[in-house]
Chain A
Amino acid sequence: MSTKKRVAATVNGDAAEFLCEPRQSLLEVLREVLSLTGTKEGCNDGNCGACSVIVDGTLVNSCCMLGVEIDGCEVETVEGLARNGKLHPLQKTYLEETGMQCGFCTPGFLMSSKALLDAHPDPSERQIRHWLSGNLCRCTGYDKIVRAVQKAARMLEAER
């Protein structure tokens, strides 16, 4: 058993200090150490995107990053999307446009969509499909997910 390391990070806007084993992935730390189980494991080898989170503004597969690597970083997960009881526009539009069926890949899609809209507030359909191409959804065929992102972009534009 390896020695645990002390890690200090900001998770969804709050300071988080925790101990983790060097072999633990960020995904395992989020789920098992910080009890943030909204981030999902679909493959554990970086190919499904169910574990997508945002670290210092960059979209990552949390299964492919170590927990110790987030020391000093800002991490955003699905649990941080809604603020003060108010849903993020993406959460609203995924519901309204039925951009999910089983819902398992949804947290990862929401984070990829957020990373996209943070970088490109008015994305083309092609851009949306490109940014979401690291996330597998086996239920929807992607159509309604793309529409949900398009609608959220319009909502965010109206809010600005």
Chain B
Amino acid sequence: MATVWIPTPLQALTGGEATVRATGGTVKELVEDLDRSYPGFKEAIVGEGVLVRPGISVVVDGSVVKKGLLHPVGAESEVFFIPAIGGG
């Protein structure tokens, strides 16, 4: 099972838990798995189709992944959802 770090604003859904375990082969499947335990999680993360909501980046094992929700995850993976950051 992969570990998902819950963004602070969504910890209300997980009863204050900052990290939870979830099952799935992709980030999307993890999110869907979590939505079963914590309804509303998917809506907070997923926008249109298989895209994350605007303003959110998906980080898997320390890298910002371009495939976002479709990125594959392993049993030991750590997944993070972070606010998007640009630059000058």
A and B touch in the complex (CB under 8 A): no
